[in-house]
Amino acid sequence: MTIASGALLGWLVSVVFPLPPIHWEGRFHPIGFFKLVWHLLHDLVLSSFRMIQLAFQCRINLNAGIVRVDLDSNDDLYQVQVAELISLVPGTVVVEVVRHPRRLYLHALDLVGPDPVGRIQKMTHDVEARVLNAFGSAQEIADYRAARARGEVGAEELPELEVDES
């Protein structure tokens, strides 16, 4: 009864509140997809160990902050995929998604080191590149690489990160 009522409710919601169609012009690239999954698993393992270290420290100093990342791809589907993959990794979560211009705001822990904001932005752009290499069309990949080479998106200076030491 539970399965039947769940299926009926799911069908009813999809009929009453239909989603807009997604126009995907890309194609599946198996090698790019393998790299995407490999890096996701690698990031999951490393960040999980780092979260364990932070949990067992004597001092509580998470060095958390909000980081703005301007994306270079121009597609809703890729923006959602990047946001989901970033949120899967412990220590980062997407708190806001802006459609125009393509922008993500990430809450990140452990913002230490010489350039913590740049590190988070680079990580996000790496995920975006892997998503495009796994699912993008040849034209979308070329446009992305051209935008990255020009520094078109995300080129404006970000304010310095201020970490509260208290």
Residue pLDDT, tens place only, 130-166: 999 999 988 888 888 888 787 754 433 333 333 334 3
- Give the bridge partners for 66, in sequence order: 107
- Give the integer Cα–Cα distance in Å for 154 and 105: 13
In this prediction, residue 45 carries a pLDDT of 93
**Whether 134 contacts 149, CB under 8 Å:** no
Q: How far is CA 155 from CA 82, 122, 124, 164, in A?
A: 19, 12, 15, 26
pLDDT above 70 covers a percentage of the chain that reads: 91
3-state helix, strand, coil in the chain (%, to 5): 50, 10, 35
For residues 151 and 19, the model is more confident at 19
